[in-house]
Amino acid sequence: MNLTTDAPIQIVAFCCRYCAYAAADLAGVLRLTYPPDIRIVQIPCTGRLDTLEVLHALEFGADAVMVAGCLEGDCHFQRGNIEARTRVERIKEILSQIGLEAARVEMFNMSSAMGKQFAEAAQEFAERIASLGPSPLRDSTYEIKAEFEM
């Protein structure tokens, strides 16, 4: 694998619109710093988390996927975040079967007021993934040969 040592860890964060995305936005407003290579994708609720989209994120360049939703019991859509937690566990099983570390996908819960906690979670997760190392799928010569339709 030909990977430069200063290639940053790439993380995709699926954040629910009502809490986690708002918390991330608040972190921005408060000018809190967290690793820049966390790409946030807003979804209406973590219950909408799509297993295939998480796998595609990992397949096409992400080193890890963060899933962030409302605090348990406070989901805007009642129990979307509970469903998401089960789905994240299932995704971890799939990653293990594939040969990737299950720790590369993780779920976090926070409220929309928790801008500081979002920044801390993002920092902590990025450091955890950095110590795991870049995804073993990363390869500077990797070309996407397969066509896919979502």
Partner 1 sequence: MIVAEQKSLEEIKNLIADMEKVLVVGCGTCVTVCFAGGDKEAGILASSLRMSTKLDGSTKEVTHITVQRQCEWEYIDPIADQINDADIVLSIGCGIGVQAIAERYPETVVVPGLNTTFLGLPTEQGVWEERCAACGECILGITGGICPIARCAKQLLNGPCGGSQNGMCEINPDTPCAWQLIYDKLKSQDRLHLIMDVQPPKNWSSSRDGGPRKITREDLRLAVEDSE
**Positions that interact with partner 1 (CB under 8 A):** 51-52, 55-56, 58-59, 94, 97-100, 136-137, 139, 142, 145-148, 150
Closer CB to partner 1, 32 or 103, in the complex: 103
Closer CB to partner 1, 8 or 90, in the complex: 90
What are the residues whose beta carbons fall under 8 Å from the beta carbon of 35, sequence distance 6 or more? 8, 9, 11, 122, 123, 126
Least spacing, CB of residue 87 vs partner 1, in Å: 12
Least spacing, CB of residue 123 vs partner 1, in Å: 27
3-state secondary structure of 15: strand
3-state secondary structure of 26: helix
Closer CB to partner 1, 32 or 137, in the complex: 137
Closer CB to partner 1, 74 or 101, in the complex: 101
Helices 51-59, 80-98: inter-axial angle, 10-degree rounding: 40
Determine the Cα–Cα distance for residues 109 and 85; give it in Å rounded to an integer.
10
Least spacing, CB of residue 51 vs partner 1, in Å: 6
Q: In the chain, count of helices (H) and strands (E)?
A: 4, 4
Least spacing, CB of residue 122 vs partner 1, in Å: 24
